[in-house]
Structure 1
Amino acid sequence: MTTQLKQAAGKVQPNGNPLVAHRYGADPYALVFGDRVYLYMTNDALEYDENGVVKENSYSSINTITVISSADLVNWTDHGPIAVAGPEGAAKWATQSWAPAALHTVIDGKDKFFLYFANNASGIGVLSSDSPVGPWVDPIGEALILRSTPGVEDVTWLFDPAVLLDDDGKGYIYFGGGVPEGQFAEPGTARVMPLGEDMTSVAGTAAVIPAPFMFEDAGIHKWNGVYYYTYCSNFYDGQRPEGSPPAGEIAYMTSSSPMGPWTYQGTILKNPGHFFGVSGNNHHAVFQFHDSWYIAYHAQTLSKAQGIANGYRSTHLNRLTHHEDGSIPEIHADYEGVQQLAMLNPYERIPAATMGWSAGVKTEYLAEGGVQAVTDVEQGGWIGLSGVDFGSGAESFQVSVLSLEAGGVLELHLDELAGPVIGRLTVPAADGSQEWVELKTEVQGAEGVHNLYLVFTGESNKSLFKLAAWQFTAQGH
């Protein structure tokens, strides 16, 4: 029997953008820790009307932030949603969690992580953790920044934070947005202020960043001693003075100090509609990973491929460079994405929610095992991994699996979905125990570097099993 494979949507081999195809993720912010990049994103989720038709994204019910990470920038591990706002969240005083920012520092000899978020457009909160993936707590039990904060009384939208930990260990937070009536050219709604040493307080009075045609989306990075403040321009459709940023583009200003004064320089990234044929707001983050610079941004490419581009956004990644004079050349956004930085080691335990490409699968956090698992595995569903280095050869494959009513078969293919089969593992139907088990099978023909595909077969229209992690064993081990 030939398996009818699910078709990839949005992220199609060999492209790297959007980063994942099994969930949305907007307003990306990057944190580099160790040898991994962690991307924190607004957890866009489909909204439906009374007839079950997908509505325009209202953002009103978003109270979680999702995080993915990667060591190679092509295969991404889904760590699941962070419960931020509302009764189930860490910050119960908040109602929404949008546009996160993250920071890592060392306090009293221990790694500490801070996650800043917008409570709609009315304030900014902060969570803390000992790990980049949580668990997270609210260390202050209230908002970090409100309109009562000195210097922010007139900010239209109190949201979209970005944070900088400077070389001297001092922290700064950048935020704000919106356009007071008629003030498109000079909204005056961008702000910066120092963070306290604890990173959970602010100090002094917020300073105005005079960003031309400011709209939203604060960004900050430092290169060669220069501070770069980046932001999204507003959508004013009237005449703009020469040298002003066009509508909905990422613009940048520079300074020799984290607090300014700032000099406007130009724009670096056009609106997503210019590249992908589907417009919308523009949101970004600039970061360095190893020796290169990157820009993360969102576009409605996955939802467009699904026929529902109603404000549901997905994160993308492209290279960014600095000229010797400090200027940033314009970025060309595309589906291709960035080069894979390292091969995937299959002899380490790999979370099943690690994907280069996928179709017909979802992920969710399962309390029974405390794991972000691959779930809703269907007949013809699959996961693809890019650049897997088997070295001199693998002899077996092991997976942590939770059987469901139907059970099924996990096939291992090399190079492409219909490529050579190196092994098959049968997952028996559930016996009612609801326990994770380790299953193992022999493999043959896995040597050198290949793309790897986990293809799922079984009874149609039924969920087959759930996966937590997998690992190969090298020959002779």
Structure 2
Amino acid sequence: MTAFFNPIIKHKYTADPTVISYGDRVYLYTGHDDPPPGVDDYVMNDWCCFSSNDLMNWEEHPTPLKATDFSWASGDAFASNVVCRDHIFYWYVAVSHRSIFGKAIGVAVSNRPTGPFTDAKGSALITGDMLPCPTTEKANLDPSVVIDDIGQAYLFWGNTTCYYAKLKANMIELDSDIQVVNVPAFGEGAHVLKRNGWYYLMYGYGFPEDIAYAMSPTVHGPWDFKGVINKMPYNCETNRAATLDFQGKSYFFYHNGALEGGGSHRRSVCLDLLSYRPDGTIEPIIVTREGITADEG
């Protein structure tokens, strides 16, 4: 049995994973921490794409998207989420808006999972002046999209307050008012999924960030808080969950600061197993240096 060691990407700093399966491959999209020497702050200009057919060996693809590919953005490639609908790939990202205060959410599109991706709208999907309550500069962070059983898509996002809204069928316009999701100690890093009749909302809980989650039988709530499932990652104040069901097993992607020279602003994506109980609740996630092994991938 061959050991697999976290972090899974070792040659550059990666953060804020989002992951999909398409065909027989898994596509992992990450942020890219790239502060110059001596700078201890978030410096992120583009996103990365990797793929694998076994979760053990990852192929890097050319950079598919940069913050400045959105003409209305001034930069800052923050956390993102990729979803596939009808063989079209939609990439929801948080960037800094050039003319409207604070972060904004944009959406890029491609007909291939590896891109290149282009701005789908030519303008932001969500800006700070659209929100229903007073906002901070980072209010529009960490988008996550879920598509229900009848094909309706919903977008979740936020920083200190969790928001959600319905998306139109074209996936690039809102189709409802923006509403607030009430869950305890929401920080950021929303990750929403539907599985076996349950909606799950994972998120950064408090600060430094643990990962907690809530469950609901509907996307509109009420959300039943289930507690912390993943403690603060090693050498890093933030976290962002992503989940994947692949070849009959479930997996949990996250980031820490474990690479040489790493930390809260030089993060690295990791992978461990995820287990659901018969009632749908989630077993506490044990993060490991070993990660998954060859018979688990």
Q: TM-score, normalised by structure 2?
A: 0.91
**Residue type at the aligned position of 1:63:** N
The amino acid across from 1:136 in the alignment is F
The 3 A distance-change label for structure 1 pair 310 and 176 is closer
Structure 2 counterpart SS, 1:66: strand
Q: Structure 2: how far apart are the matches of 1:308 and 1:333? A: 17
1:82 and 1:329 map into 2 onto residues whose CA distance is: 35
Q: Does 1:41 align with 2:30?
A: yes
Q: Is residue 3–residue 293 contact of structure 2 (8 Å, CA) maintained in 1?
A: no
The residue number in structure 2 matching 1:15 is 4
1:193 counterpart residue number: 165
Offset of residue 150 of structure 1: 5.4
SS in 2 for 1:148: helix
Cα offset for 1:82?
Answer: 2.4
Q: CA deviation at 1:102?
A: 0.5
Letter in 2 for 1:323: R
Q: Residue 156 of structure 2 aligns to which amino acid in structure 1?
A: Y
Q: Does 1:113 align with 2:89?
A: yes
Say yes or no: does 1:315 pair with 2:272.
no
The equivalent position to 2:64 in structure 1, one of 74, 79, 82, is 82
SS of the equivalent of 2:146 reads strand
**Aligned-pair distance for 1:310?**
5.7
2: CA distance, partners of 1:139 / 1:152: 27
- The reply on whether 1:282 has 2:239 as its aligned counterpart is yes
Alignment of 1:230-379 (within 5 A): 230-235=202-207, 248-273=209-234, 278-302=235-259, 306-309=260-263, 311-340=265-294
Q: Return the alpha-carbon distance in structure 1 between the equivalents of residues 265 and 129 of structure 2.
A: 32
Taking the aligned partners of 2:169 and 2:292, their CA distance within structure 1 comes to: 36
**In 1, Cα distance between the equivalents of 2:256 and 2:3?**
19
Q: Distance in 1 between matches of 2:279 and 2:256?
A: 30
Conserved 8 A contact 1:122-1:158: yes
- 1:412-423 matched pairs, under 5 angstroms: none
Amino acid at match of 1:57: D
What is the rounded CA distance, in whole Å, between the counterparts of 1:84 and 1:123 in structure 2? 15
Partner of residue 172, structure 1: 154
CA deviation vs aligned residue, 1:363-395 (integer Å, no higher than 9, x gap): xxxxxxxxxxxxxxxxxxxxxxxxxxxxxxxxx
Aligned-pair distance for 1:308? 4.8
Match of 1:227 among 170, 195, 199: 199
8 Å contact from structure 2 (residues 238, 264) kept in 1: no
Q: Which is bigger in relative contact order (C-alpha 8 A, separation at least 6)?
A: 2
Contact 1:150 1:204 in 2 (8 A): no
What residue in structure 1 maps to residue 72 of structure 2? 93
Alpha-carbon separation, structure 2, partners of 1:139 and 1:221: 23
Q: What secondary structure is seen at the aligned counterpart in 1 of 2:103? A: coil
Number of residues of Structure 1 aligned to a counterpart in Structure 2: 289
Q: Report the secondary structure of 2:130's partner residue.
A: coil
Secondary structure of the structure 1 residue equivalent to 2:177: coil
CA contact (8 A) 1:72 1:341 kept: no
Cα separation, partners in 2 of 1:255 and 1:301, compared to 1, 3 Å: same
Q: Say which SS state the counterpart of residue 27 (structure 1) adopts.
A: strand
Give the distance between the partners of 1:45 and 1:264, measured in 2 at CA: 35
Q: Say which is worse superposed, 91-100 or 332-341, in terms of deviation.
A: 332-341
Query: 1:272 Cα deviation (Å)?
Result: 0.8
1:212 to 180, 184, 192: 184
Q: Aligned match of 1:57 in 41, 51, 57?
A: 41
Change in Cα spacing, 1:309 to 1:154, as seen in structure 2 (3 Å) is closer
1:122 maps to which residue? Answer: 103
What letter is aligned with 1:58? Y
The question of whether the paired residues in 1 share the 8 Å contact of 2:107 and 2:125 is answered with: yes
Q: 1:14 to 1:326 in 2, by over 3 A?
A: closer
Does structure 2 conserve the Cα–Cα contact (< 8 Å) formed by 1:44 and 1:312? Answer: yes
Note if contact 2:33-2:42 (Cα within 8 Å) is conserved in structure 1. no
Aligned CA-pair RMSD: 1.9
| Aligned equivalents of 2:78, 2:108: Cα separation in 1 | 13
Letter paired with 1:33 = Y
1:32-74 Cα offsets, whole Å, 9 max, x none, are: 11111111111111312xxxxx321333xx2211011111001
Instruction: Answer whether contact 1:191 1:209 (CA < 8 A) is retained.
Output: yes
Q: Give, in whole Å, the separation in 2 of the partners of 1:281 and 1:67.
A: 21
- 1:371 maps to none
Q: Is the 8 A contact 1:152 1:206 kept in 2?
A: no
Contact 2:153 2:167 (C-alpha < 8 Å) held by counterparts: yes
**Does the 8 A contact of 1:85 with 1:93 survive in 2?**
no
With the length of structure 1 as denominator, give the TM-score of the two structures. Answer: 0.58
Contact 1:171 1:196 in 2 (8 A): yes
Percent identity, aligned pairs only, is: 32
Q: SS where residue 272 of structure 1 aligns?
A: coil
d(CA) in 2 for partners of 1:93, 1:229:
30
Gaps of 5+ in 2: 97-101
In 2: Cα distance, 1:323 partner to 1:223 partner: 12
Q: Could you list the structure 1 runs, at least 4 aligned residues long, displaced by more than 4 angstroms after superposition.
A: none
Deviation at residue 267 of structure 1 after TM alignment: 1.0
